[in-house]
């Protein structure tokens, strides 16, 4: 799989061969949400593909003020692919956002920030390529309801796999009794795994849109799945996450179900992570490989890991950017929050995958989750890693014990740093520790980002009572 077109000329040939009627322009906001606007194919020409398409940037959250709303979408033509879901043939183009007032890539465009991060690595002479392999987990539910009013708050999700349905009477079918149970979803065959055909459909459509699919499987939680795709460079990997989420949500929708990448939708069961494999390369050589070292990791790879750990609290503001993210980062749910590295050990925040040779040696950061904007998450980790290389930071480890078995006292005694416990902590850390981002992330962006997350996530969440608070506090 891969590119369908390489240049503007091939784009028009591709469109004509597929009787394209619409050109859909996609871009990502600072949350990582995909936005789009559709042009008639007849209105698209080589000039606007080259110079860009105007749009209103003031209507996107945390972007432009209304008095400077005009912006440009610059299509990355080789990203073109056919939308597999539209009634009329539609080609999708992934775009970067251009700032007409500063005549440069927009400082709040996540995809543009990721491009600047890679250029920074080149400019300082460390690497000319950065590869990322995200593993995005998701839930498929049959129904979701939530309410958020001044006097009423709550949610309810349902899946036929939920153990709570073991005594449910169905109008149109009998109760099969085949359910994975809490934390019982890892690899059971059908009928316990109810999503075999849906995942297969997702995998095939992902290949249609240009991703190279490796495997798919049921994950640990009830109603949870994962599809493995081949890694890519920092930009392609970010694009692939956006395609992946789009396809998974749409296939679920068309099957009468609903998909979510929310980190922790179920209490007491595993959450959705986005484990991120990463490595730096130069002149075709893997800079993270050193045969004979622990896990075959080079000193540069260790320093890179040390940088991420040193800045982990600030990094978390981007890799774990929602209040719900920190409900996942708890002991007992395979969500490592202890900042150490280990070969093969999935309880460490950084795992070195087993059996990797020169081309495949990499680190796997296991704390990020799928609520993150992929471009920002990848760029922030790389900037922290580059800072670690610069300062020769050394990470805690290796630790090959089951870290999930350690008590909080033991963690403190060993001097192991943990991930922040709340989004507030992460954002406060970002405010205090952001110099390592400054070569790429502007002060304006960092300020806008932290204000947005505080005002739209932290403050509203902190001000809302929960059902559990009523359970523990109402009678006091």
359 labeled binding residue: yes
Give the pairing of strands 153-158 and 90-99: unpaired
User: Per the structure block, which two tokens stand in for 247?
Assistant: 């396809």
366 labeled binding residue: yes
291 labeled binding residue: no
Instruction: Tell me if residue 351 is catalytic.
Output: no
Q: Residue 48 — pLDDT band, cuts 50, 70, 90?
A: very high
Is residue 338 within a helix (H) or strand (E), and if so which, with residue range? none
Question: Can the peptide bond before residue 63 be classed as cis, meaning omega within 30 degrees of 0?
Answer: no
Is residue 97 within a helix (H) or strand (E), and if so which, with residue range? strand 90-99
Active-site entry in 96, 99, 137, 387: 137
Mean pLDDT calculated for residue range 335-343: 84
| pLDDT at residue number 337 | 83
Q: Residue 424 — pLDDT band, cuts 50, 70, 90?
A: very high
CA 278/CA 297 separation, integer angstroms:
12
CA 279/CA 357 separation, integer angstroms:
13
226 labeled binding residue: yes
| pLDDT at residue number 335 | 63
Mean pLDDT calculated for residue range 165-170: 92
CA 89/CA 84 separation, integer angstroms:
8
User: Per the structure block, which two tokens stand in for 236?
Assistant: 């392609």
CA 67/CA 432 separation, integer angstroms:
31
* Model confidence at 345: pLDDT above 80: no
364 labeled binding residue: yes
What are the pLDDT digits (tens) for 235-277? 999 999 999 999 999 999 999 999 999 999 999 999 999 999 9
Active-site entry in 26, 179, 218, 275: 275
User: Per the structure block, which two tokens stand in for 362?
Assistant: 């990499």
Please give the angle made by the CA atoms of 335, 360 and 440, to the nearest 5 degrees.
70
What does the radius of gyration of the chain's CA atoms come to, in whole angstroms?
23
* Model confidence at 2: pLDDT above 80: no
Domains by residue range for the chain, with CATH: 8-106 (3.10.20.70), 129-473 (3.30.590.10)
Instruction: Tell me if residue 464 is catalytic.
Output: no
162 labeled binding residue: no
Q: Residue 201 — pLDDT band, cuts 50, 70, 90?
A: very high
219 labeled binding residue: yes
- Residue 222 · residue 270 · CB < 8 Å: no
Instruction: Tell me if residue 346 is catalytic.
Output: yes
Residue 20, classified by CB atoms within 10 Å of its CB into exposed (0-12), middle (13-18) or buried (19+), is buried
| pLDDT at residue number 87 | 98
Active-site entry in 160, 239, 364, 393: 364
Give the pairing of strands 129-141 and 274-282: antiparallel
User: Cα 136 from chain centroid?
Assistant: 7
| pLDDT at residue number 390 | 98
What are the pLDDT digits (tens) for 3-28? 899 999 999 999 999 999 999 999 99
Would you call 171 helix, strand, or coil by DSSP?
coil
Q: Residue 234 — pLDDT band, cuts 50, 70, 90?
A: very high
Instruction: Tell me if residue 303 is catalytic.
Output: no
Which conformational region is residue 396 in: left (phi greater than 0), alpha (psi within -120 to 50 degrees), or beta? beta
Q: Residue 146 — pLDDT band, cuts 50, 70, 90?
A: very high
* Residue 6 CA: distances (Å) to CA of 2, 26, 232, 295: 10, 18, 17, 38
Instruction: Tell me if residue 455 is catalytic.
Output: no
Q: Residue 410 — pLDDT band, cuts 50, 70, 90?
A: confident
| pLDDT at residue number 417 | 85
DSSP structure class, residue 188: P
107 labeled binding residue: no
Out of 250-264, 294-308, 328-342, least confident range: 328-342
Residue 95, classified by CB atoms within 10 Å of its CB into exposed (0-12), middle (13-18) or buried (19+), is buried
334 labeled binding residue: yes
Instruction: Tell me if residue 226 is catalytic.
Output: yes
- Residue 328 · residue 263 · CB < 8 Å: yes
Of 154 and 334, more confident = 154
425 labeled binding residue: no
| pLDDT at residue number 1 | 55
Active-site entry in 219, 239, 369, 393: 219
| pLDDT at residue number 41 | 98
Active-site entry in 160, 193, 226, 393: 226
Give me the residue label for tokens 């400082």: 107
Average pLDDT, the chain: 94
Biggest CA–CA distance in the chain, Å, is: 72
| pLDDT at residue number 409 | 74
Q: Residue 416 — pLDDT band, cuts 50, 70, 90?
A: confident
Per-residue burial over 47-76, b if 16 or more Cβ lie within 10 Å, else e, is: ebbeebbebebeebebbbeeeeeebbbbbe
List phi, psi (to 5°) of 445.
-65, -45
User: Per the structure block, which two tokens stand in for 138?
Assistant: 């998701």
Instruction: Tell me if residue 311 is catalytic.
Output: no
Active-site entry in 9, 56, 410, 455: 56
User: Per the structure block, which two tokens stand in for 214?
Assistant: 């490796």
Give me the residue label for tokens 């690595």: 121
CA 290/CA 287 separation, integer angstroms:
8
Active-site entry in 366, 369, 424, 428: 366
Active-site entry in 135, 142, 207, 400: 135
CA 354/CA 360 separation, integer angstroms:
10
Give the pairing of strands 53-56 and 22-28: unpaired
Of 84 and 342, more confident = 84
Expressed in angstroms, the distance from the first to the final Cα of the chain is 61
Instruction: Tell me if residue 275 is catalytic.
Output: yes
* Model confidence at 211: pLDDT above 80: yes
| pLDDT at residue number 348 | 83
| pLDDT at residue number 400 | 76
462 labeled binding residue: no
- Residue 333 · residue 324 · CB < 8 Å: no
Give the pairing of strands 363-365 and 350-352: antiparallel
Q: Residue 212 — pLDDT band, cuts 50, 70, 90?
A: very high
Instruction: Tell me if residue 107 is catalytic.
Output: no
């Amino acid at each position: 799989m891969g590119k369908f077109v390489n240049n503007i000329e091939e784009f028009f040939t591709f469109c004509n061969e597929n009787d394209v009627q619409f050109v859909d322009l996609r871009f990502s906001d600072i949350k990582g949400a995909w936005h789009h606007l559709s042009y008639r194919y007849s209105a698209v020409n080589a000039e606007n593909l080259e110079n860009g398409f105007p749009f209103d940037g003031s209507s996107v959250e945390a972007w432009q003020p209304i008095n400077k709303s005009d912006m440009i979408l610059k299509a990355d033509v080789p990203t073109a692919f056919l939308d597999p879901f539209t009634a009329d043939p539609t080609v999708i183009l992934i775009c970067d956002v251009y700032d007409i007032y500063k005549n440069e890539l927009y400082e709040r465009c996540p995809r543009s920030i990721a491009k600047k991060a890679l250029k920074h690595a080149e400019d300082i002479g460390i690497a000319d390529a950065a590869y990322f392999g995200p593993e995005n987990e998701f839930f498929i539910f049959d129904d979701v309801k939530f309410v958020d009013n001044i006097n009423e708050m709550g949610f309810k999700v349902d899946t036929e796999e939920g153990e709570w349905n073991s005594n449910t009477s169905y109008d149109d079918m009998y109760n099969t009794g085949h359910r994975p149970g809490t934390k019982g979803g890892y690899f059971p065959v059908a009928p316990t795994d109810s999503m075999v055909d849906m995942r297969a459909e997702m995998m095939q459509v992902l290949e249609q849109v240009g991703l190279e699919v490796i495997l798919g499987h049921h994950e640990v939680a009830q109603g949870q799945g994962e599809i493995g795709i081949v890694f890519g460079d920092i930009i392609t990997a970010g694009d692939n996450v956006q395609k992946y989420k789009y396809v998974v949500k749409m296939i679920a929708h068309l099957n009468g179900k609903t998909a979510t990448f929310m980190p922790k939708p179920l209490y007491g069961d595993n959450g959705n992570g986005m484990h991120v494999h990463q490595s730096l390369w130069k002149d075709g050589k893997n800079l993270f490989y050193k045969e004979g070292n622990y896990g075959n990791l080079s000193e540069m790879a260790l320093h890179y890991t040390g940088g991420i750990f040193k800045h982990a609290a600030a990094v978390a503001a981007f890799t774990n950017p929602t209040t719900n993210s920190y409900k996942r980062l708890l002991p007992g749910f395979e969500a490592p929050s202890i900042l150490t590295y280990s070969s093969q050990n999935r309880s460490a925040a950084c795992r070195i995958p087993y059996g990797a040779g020169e081309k495949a040696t990499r680190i796997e950061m296991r704390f990020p989750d799928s609520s993150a904007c992929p471009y920002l998450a990848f760029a922030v980790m790389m900037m922290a890693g580059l800072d670690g290389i610069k300062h020769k930071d050394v990470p805690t480890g290796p630790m090959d014990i089951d870290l999930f078995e350690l008590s909080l006292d033991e963690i403190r005694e060993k001097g192991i740093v943990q991930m922040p416990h709340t989004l507030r902590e992460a954002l406060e850390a970002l405010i205090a520790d952001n110099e390592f981002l400054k070569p790429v992330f502007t002060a304006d962006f960092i300020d806008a980002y932290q204000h947005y997350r505080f005002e739209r996530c932290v403050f509203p969440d902190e001000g809302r009572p929960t059902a559990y608070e009523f359970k523990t506090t109402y009678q006091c």
